[in-house]
Structure 1
Amino acid sequence: MTSTVFFEIFDYLDALEIFTAFTSLNQRISSILKRIPLRILISNTNSRSEIEFLSSHLTYHDHQVISIDIYDKIRDCSSVINLLFNRHNFINLESCIFNAINSSTKLKKILKKLKSLNRLVSFGIYQADDLGINDKDKYELSQMVFMNQLSSLRSVVLNYTYDYMNISNYPSITTNLISLALCISGLSSTVSIYSMFLILRHCHKIRYLTILIAYIDACENEKASDRFRIPHINPNDLPLLPQVIYLNLIVIVRCDNRSISHILRCMPNLIYFYFTLGIPTANWPLPDELRNGYVWQEMIDRYIPHLLKFEFLIGIKKSYQHLDLDMIVNSFEYFVGKYPNWNMIITQWKHHKEIGGEYLILHTFNYRQNRYTTNITIPIVNCETFQVRSTSIQNDQHLFYSIIEDLCLYLTDQQATITWSSPLFQQVKSLAIEMPIISASWWNNLLNIANYGVVNDDKDKLKIIPYLKHFVDLHKITEIKFLKMSHISRWMDVQLILQTCPNVIDLSISTELLLLSKIIDNRSLFPVFERIKKIELIKNIVYFLPSSASKIVERFPSLNNIKLTVFTRLFEKVLFKNIIL
């Protein structure tokens, strides 16, 4: 086998795999190993012994490392970054990514080492929480990036929360960055949609920009109602970034069309624009302009006339107001003709518990194709009030939701007007269902049904299943969760749903509902029970007798996993124990 073939093989392997498989085979392989570039890839499933093995071989090969992607905390070690960077000098490192940095890691010392690497062009930190990086480290990182302390850097991702207020005190130094992604986050008194201007003034060479702006917690959205004021903006003083061709703007703070306009006019040569507005809850109304296609048309034509790609997701939970969904959809018709394969959809439904609350979601068909955008998640859907409209003239609304695999539905006896002909959420595999208690008169009538195991076909057509099929493809459901609010009065609905989902193997249900004779002793459900492999019994106060356990084992012969809550009285205190078998 020629050396060229070995080089190609090693391109597909990381350093640990290479040293594990090829070390000490023969002199020829050892010679090749001294000449190949090495890539270190450490996931959170690796072990300390593997890291020690890797480090021992890096002693004579660390100068060959060009790429590092490290999880700081692995199975049995909590500071891998310290371990490797204290032992080795990666003088030819070109790309460095740190994941889930542990609080014990001496990041300041690591950053000092990174600043001496004149070949490092790409650097990233992905931090799920703020526990591992303190404010001093964040300050050091912002200085390294925005004061050009590492002039070789061209691409940076800083995925942790920080308000970057200190940047306003930095001298006006233009970085060499071409690509930048970061999160600006803080209190509503310090962070706003305009905070990104602090960053833009240092990024005149930037071409690809992803910025997330968010309040530090959800309650700040409510405080922002009184604090949000449009500052005086001098158009002549706005930063100009003529090289920016890609903008991914994710906004989880209050904004309006004027603030978006101020941002867009900074980037006159923008070609790709992804916009996300996601407000979990707010007591201020969504500006009408942001759901008006004509306003978006004016902003784009005026400030970014070279745009070739425009995708957005706007989602908000807010106070209810009557909207003409057809009028909103029609206002976006301009973009259907302007951009290829462009369509948008709008959905609206009232909150199932909060009086006067609603969810409103607008998004484009191709929004999901951008890997840097946020995931489209659907809050619990109140089917009774669910409305949907789309610019598409085809019967393809389900394509807008093709990546949705988890869905929660609130089903009532009242049904919304169905304006679509096929299931909207056809790829859902995990379905959670909540149903209100049936009124006393209906419940009494159901209790008097003698043959509860037999369901009348005419009743079936009038009940829940035909309606449910408008929302999900029941044949693709593998997991069903009947939420704890689903009362035993809904036993017949539970029976019908289970019978019409032929591929369910994972069931979550309240103990009270499962042990109800009309469910556990229902012969029509025995074939369904035989397929179930996993059960989670949702906590509620009910005596779980030994006979109940034996009956579950009998009814569910394929069961290999059961999770339930046991209540025991000890020292006059009730203890809750989750048991997984």
Structure 2
Amino acid sequence: MDRYTHFEGLSNEIFFEIFDYLHALEIFTGFTSLNKRISSILQSIPLRILILYDHSRRQVDFISSHLTFHAHQVISINIYDKIRDYTSIIDLLFHRHNFTNLESCVLVANSSITKLENVIKRIKTLNKLVSFCICAPNDYNISTIDRSDLTRIMLMHKSSVHSIELHYRYDYMDMSNYMLIPSNLISLKLYISGSPSTVSVYSILSILRLCQTIRYLGIIVRQNDQIENNNINVSISTPSINENDLPILPHVISFDLEILARCDSRSIGYILRCMPNLMYFYFLLTIEKAAWPFPGELLDGHVWQEMLERYVPHLSKFEFHMAIAKKYPRLNLDIVVNSFEYFVKKYFNWNITIDRWKFYCRPREEFVMLRTFNYRKHKASLCIGIPIIYGGSFATQSTASNNHHLFYSDIEKLIIFITKKIPIVTWSSARFQQIKYLIVEMPIIRSSLWNTLSNIVKFSEMNDNVFAEQSVTYLSHFVQLSNVSQIEFGSTFDISRWKDVQFILQACPNVINLIIGSRLLVLSKLIDNPSLIPIFKQIKMIESITKKNYFHSNFASKLVQRFPSLIHIELQDLF
């Protein structure tokens, strides 16, 4: 005889286990008012609130109505302030409810102005809060007053908190007014930002004086783009420092330092000597302006060897990513790579790669990118993308020359400009093999030049194919095209490049999202091209930029016919 287990027959323990995998909105949507037993269980389970950017105001009001009786059960909050049809969600929920037993709080201030007054009021009373994180993508998301008040309260008031991440830009000029950070705090991440006259890498030292009990430290230092008097070619000023009075943080074992500012080995040395027991050091450096002083010594492995051996002798992990815009002369890649031989021998599976390419529109400037093998596994606070690669000048060197793609296995978006003159490639496999979103730019072929060449040289269809095939072959040396799911043909693509578009699309068999100019999209040589029909059939999203281009009345039906899997289309008008 068959035996059936009914839903009501499950034990309370199983229900607790099920609810532990669900968020509050899912629980209240699926289980409210089923029966008295379930309602009784819902009165005693811990609740986790998750509100993301794609939620609606209706869903927020629904969950808020239930929190009237369940707010005391909430132990975790993860809230986006701006959702798809409303803003100020954070202020709304903290105004309506008092989450007295909250243990973990993650807030994303993604609206134009995120109001934190009610959060600041409530957080003073949250005696069980263990972890607090707030992230503001832009400088204007949180007012200066709210940033100051929240910083002071979190760093000085909350003795129960073990982990704090304040990912909003703040200059921390008032740190001298603070007392020591509470002893329970063991993990701290801060974002120091301001003008070069107020913020530098040395600003970290004033914060370190308060971090006597911290074990895990992460700091971002950023100098704003607005440079005083437009003078960006200034040296790094060293403040007066008493080397015998540096703060000592004996408990720090992990340090994540991310710098978007002028920087040199001396400033980093002062910081590292404050952490004598450091074991894990992650370093990110971005120099955005070639006119800034070039920190050449930071590309010298011997300098790093001397500094780390001297100040952090217990270090067991050293990973970094450096992206530097610099002026000529060109960097000797072999010298740079060879200087880090000490670390290749010291640490297990430690390798380094360096790439270099010229800025297409900036004469006598180049971009240098240096990265260790295992930095890809590190979750940095800042997402630093790779600038547009001008293929004609790309050069690379590594201590693991056959595994370049593994160094950048975390990079999924890339912009490549294929230059007029396609150079000889010295490597065999694609440099970036995990790219999902590829943006391709190519120089525009002026119509007068194209016509002249066509008349004089009498380019044949075969010659067109050869040129396009060369472009695709060259592109394949950078990107594993079979992994690309979204491709964008940039603003430099005009109808003279239609053959390149065809060949590139054919080389990307798994592409499902297409961004392309409208003149190319409606071009008969493309949309009626039999060789592209299999690709068109799998496209699910099209974005097309129109430049005063008017579609023929029958184009809509052709679009539906050519792209039967299409679920999203977006046309942008540029006037």
Instruction: Settle same-fold status: TM greater than 0.5.
Output: yes
Q: 1:521 to 1:47 in 2, by over 3 A?
A: closer
- State which of 228, 232, 250 in structure 1 corresponds to 2:236: 228
Summarize the Cα distance change of 1:526–1:56 in structure 2 as closer, same or farther, 3 Å threshold: closer
Q: Structure 2: which amino acid aligns with 1:398?
A: H
Within a 5 Å distance, the mapping from 1:346-361 to structure 2 comes to 346-361=354-369
**Which range moves more in the overlay, 250-259 or 176-185?**
176-185
| Contact 1:58–1:88 (CA under 8 A) maintained in structure 2 | yes
2:562 is matched with which residue: 556, 569, 579? Answer: 556
1:347 shift after superposition: 0.4
Number of residues paired by the alignment? Answer: 564
Separation (CA, whole Å) in 2 of partners of 1:284 and 1:156: 33
Partner of 1:579: none
In 2, the alpha carbon distance for the partners of 1:337 and 1:43 equals 46
- What residue is the counterpart of 1:573 in the other structure? none
SS of residue paired to 1:161? strand
Q: Deviations over 1:36-83 (max 9, x none)?
A: 222222223333343333333333333222222222333444333333
2:159 is the counterpart of 1:151: yes
Q: Distance in 1 between matches of 2:571 and 2:90?
A: 40
Using the size of structure 1 for normalisation, the TM-score is: 0.88
Which residue does 1:412 correspond to in 2?
Answer: 419
Q: Does 1:40 align with 2:46?
A: no
Quote the Cα distance in structure 1 between the aligned partners of 2:449 and 2:104. Answer: 68
Look up the match of 1:366. Answer: 374
Q: CA RMSD in A?
A: 3.1
> Residues 454 and 254 (structure 1 numbering): CA distance in 2 closer, same or farther, change over 3 Å?
same
How many Å separate the matches in 1 of 2:274 and 2:229? 27
Name the CA distance, whole Å, in 1 between partners of 2:310 and 2:57: 57
Is 1:50 equivalent to 2:59 in the alignment?
yes
State the match for 1:200 in structure 2.
Answer: 208
1:498 maps to a residue whose letter is L
Which moved further from structure 2: 122-131 or 49-58?
49-58
For residues 446-525 of structure 1, the aligned pairs below 5 Å read 446=454, 453-454=461-462, 459=466, 463-513=470-520, 519=526
Task: Within 5 Å, give how 1:292-331 maps onto structure 2.
Answer: 292-331=300-339
Cα–Cα, structure 1 residues 224 and 39, in superposed 2: closer, same or farther, change >3 Å?
same
Which residue does the alignment assign to 1:342?
Answer: 350
Q: Does 1:444 align with 2:452?
A: yes
**Partner secondary structure for residue 93 of structure 2:** helix
Change (3 A) 1:58 1:557: closer
Shift of 1:252: 0.3
Q: Which moved more, 1:442-451 or 1:75-84?
A: 442-451
Amino acid at match of 1:136: I
Amino acid aligned to 1:79:
S
Which of residues 526, 540, 546 in structure 1 aligns to 2:552? 546
Matches of 2:346 and 2:67 in 1, distance apart? 54
Q: Which residue of 1 aligns with 2:439?
A: 432
Q: Which amino acid aligns with 1:366?
A: N
Report the residue type matching 1:124 in the other structure. Answer: C
Q: Is the 8 A contact 2:232 2:291 kept in 1?
A: no
Unaligned stretches of 5+ in structure 2? 1-9
Which of 183, 196, 199 lines up with 2:191 in the alignment? 183
Q: Tell me how far apart the structure 1 counterparts of residues 55 and 67 of structure 2 sit (CA, whole Å).
A: 17
Match of 1:11 in 2: 20
CA distance in 1, matches of 2:166, 2:281: 20
1:307-353 C-alpha deviation (Å, 9 max, x unpaired):
11111010022323221101100111111121122111100000111
Q: Which letter does structure 2 place at the counterpart of 1:340?
A: F
- Which consecutive residues of structure 1, in runs of 5 or more, have no partner in the other structure? 568-575, 577-581
For residue 437 of structure 2, what is the amino acid of its counterpart?
S
The one of 73, 77, 83 equivalent to 2:82 is 73
Superposed counterparts of 1:36-115, under 5 Å: 36-100=45-109, 107-115=116-124
**1:33 & 1:562 partners in 2: Cα distance?**
43
Matched, 1:245 2:253: yes
- Mapped partners of 1:431, 1:521: distance in 2: 24
Q: Which moved more, 1:337-346 or 1:166-175?
A: 166-175
Q: Provide the C-alpha distance between the structure 2 equivalents of 1:164 and 1:195, rounded to a whole number of angstroms.
A: 8
Distance 2:118 2:543 in 1: 47
Give the Cα separation in 2 of the matches to 1:78 and 1:67.
21
1:129 CA displacement: 2.4
C-alpha separation in 1, matches of 2:526 and 2:37: 69
How far apart, in 2, do the equivalents of 1:507 and 1:7 lie?
A: 45
SS in 1 for 2:196: coil
Distance 1:365 1:445, change over 3 A: same
2:94·2:118 contact (CA, 8 Å) conserved in 1? no
CA shift in 2, pair 1:285/1:23, >3 Å: same
TM-score for the superposition, normalised by structure 2: 0.88
Cα distance between partner residues in 1 of 2:531 and 2:462: 8
What secondary structure, in the 3-state scheme, does the structure 1 residue paired with 2:234 have? helix
- What SS does the aligned partner of 2:363 have? coil
8 A Cα contact 2:413 2:438, kept in partner: yes
1:340-372 CA distance string (max 9 Å, x none): 221111000001111122111001111121123
- Tell me how far apart the structure 1 counterparts of residues 328 and 554 of structure 2 sit (CA, whole Å): 46
| Cross-structure match for 1:139 | 148
